[in-house]
Amino acid sequence: MLPGGRRDPWRALVSEFMLQQTQVARVAARFDAMLARFPSPAAMAAAPVEDVLSLWAGLGYYRRARSLHAAASQIVARFDGRVPSDTDDLLSLPGVGRYTAGAIASIAFGLPRPLVDGNVARVLQRLHARPGSASEPGVMRWAWKQAGLLISAAQARRVPPAQVNEGLMELGATVCTPSSPRCGECPLSTACLARATGRQDRIPRPKARAARAELTLRCAVLFDTRGRVLLHKRPSGGLWSGLWQPPTHQALPPALASLPVVGEVTRLLTHRRVVMEVRRGRKPRSWRAPAGSVWVAPPDLATLGIGSAHRAVLDLALNAPMGTPRPRRR
Ligand code: SF4
């Protein structure tokens, strides 16, 4: 959870949604703007989801932005506009999983609820010398049980649950790191079974990395006589669901395939390497734009929900020197 997200449940919820699968530094740059625009669940619920997507641009995993907007609407409709403290109520909100519910309940509301993320699971596995990988359901079930026992023990000693949960997460992030844990600096080293048996580098078992599949897409950035760019919305579901883009296909229709290539944008997603070939030119008369397409003046592009990959495509097409197409890679 971001420092500014602690204690205030709405800030905590926004912070957790933004941090899922995204680095802290990237989120920190957007967090204040998101809270300034949407200081409460009611403010977000009253706005179109487009506004949330627009502020989310560049963070990836846009389904989270849609879930956050849907969660805000439910908080207004079902909980009188206040983030609930009960774990089951939190879990009933779109996009809220067990970890996020535990984080909000324990850190924002101070309730004795456990949480387990990858860092916490690793610390607990090493403390108990529990073998296996955190990607195994059995290991995660075990970790949640251990985290619950720790919270109960802390409660008996009047230690705040937020202190326990934040301490475990911090330890995993800074000292008990995936490789080369700094056991000499660890406050738990005397209680750590993995260290006592010299297995801290083998627990947890490293995940076998699946090779990233490569996906090649071809984008056509089309202009009208006023220099506006043609965009349309991607369908719901799948990659970049519901975001705006220039026409993008695995194989462009012939009328667009003859436009000159101006460069290439590459993006590494979790399971895929996406290579986007970028073409630029006037919209051919013979080509019919997808339903719902709009012409957008370049200064207005910043106001639309456009993913970072397509923003890079548009930047490339808008800034490439006219009349000097770049050579194609292949
Ligand atoms: S002693 Fe080492 S392996 Fe054990 S919890 Fe601390 S940093 Fe992790």
pLDDT tens, 180-207?
Answer: 999 999 999 999 999 999 999 999 987 7
pLDDT at position 241 is 82
pLDDT at position 93 is 98
User: ∠ CA(86), CA(168), CA(124), 5° rounding?
Assistant: 100
Pocket test for ligand 1, best of 146, 192, 202, 203 (most atoms within 8 A of CB): 192
pLDDT at position 211 is 77
The residue whose CA is least distant from atom 2 of ligand 1 is 183
Query: What b/e readout covers 34-62, taking b as 16+ CB neighbours within 10 angstroms?
Result: bbeebebbbbbbeeebbbbbbbbbebbeb
Q: Which residues are marked as active site?
A: 16
Q: Is the pLDDT at 224 greater than 80, yes or no?
A: yes
194 Cβ below 6 A of ligand 1: yes
Determine the residue type at 67. Answer: S
- Give domain 118-196's CATH number out of 3.40.47.10, 1.20.120.1200, 1.20.1560.10, 1.10.1670.10: 1.10.1670.10
User: ∠ CA(154), CA(19), CA(183), 5° rounding?
Assistant: 50
Name the pTM for this structure. 0.73
CA 258 – CA 279 distance, rounded (Å): 9
CA 181 – CA 145 distance, rounded (Å): 24
Q: Which two tokens stand for residue 44?
A: 């977000």
Every domain range in the chain assigned CATH 1.10.340.30: 3-108
CA of 199 to the centre of ligand 1 (A): 10
Q: What is the CATH number of domain 3-108?
A: 1.10.340.30
Q: Tell me the per-residue pLDDT of 19-66, one tens digit each, with 9 for 90 and over.
A: 887 778 888 888 999 999 999 999 999 999 999 998 988 788 888 999
- Closest ligand 1 atom to residue 123 Cα is 5
Determine the residue type at 99. Answer: Y
186 Cβ below 6 A of ligand 1: yes
Q: Which CATH class is domain 213-319?
A: alpha beta
129 Cβ below 6 A of ligand 1: no
CA 224 – CA 228 distance, rounded (Å): 6
123 Cβ below 6 A of ligand 1: yes
Look up residue 243 and give its DSSP letter: -
For residue 48, whether the previous peptide bond is cis, meaning omega lies within 30 degrees of 0, is no
Percent above pLDDT 90 for the chain: 75
72 Cβ below 6 A of ligand 1: no
Every domain range in the chain assigned CATH 1.10.1670.10: 118-196
The residue whose CA is least distant from atom 3 of ligand 1 is 200
CA of 173 to the centre of ligand 1 (A): 12
Give me the chain's average pLDDT, please: 91
Determine the residue type at 51. Answer: D
CA of 200 to the centre of ligand 1 (A): 7
Distance of CA 81 to the CA centre of its chain: 24
Q: How confident is the model at residue 2 (pLDDT cuts 50, 70, 90)?
A: low
Every domain range in the chain assigned CATH 3.90.79.10: 213-319
Look up residue 234 and give its DSSP letter: P
pLDDT at position 330 is 42
Q: What is the DSSP string of 133-151?
A: -TTSHHHHHHHHHHHHHHH
Q: Burial of 215 by CB count in 10 Å (0-12 exposed, 13-18 middle, 19+ buried)? A: middle
Strand partners, 279: 220, 261
User: ∠ CA(59), CA(312), CA(5), 5° rounding?
Assistant: 15
261 Cβ below 6 A of ligand 1: no
CA 255 – CA 235 distance, rounded (Å): 22
CA of 181 to the centre of ligand 1 (A): 6
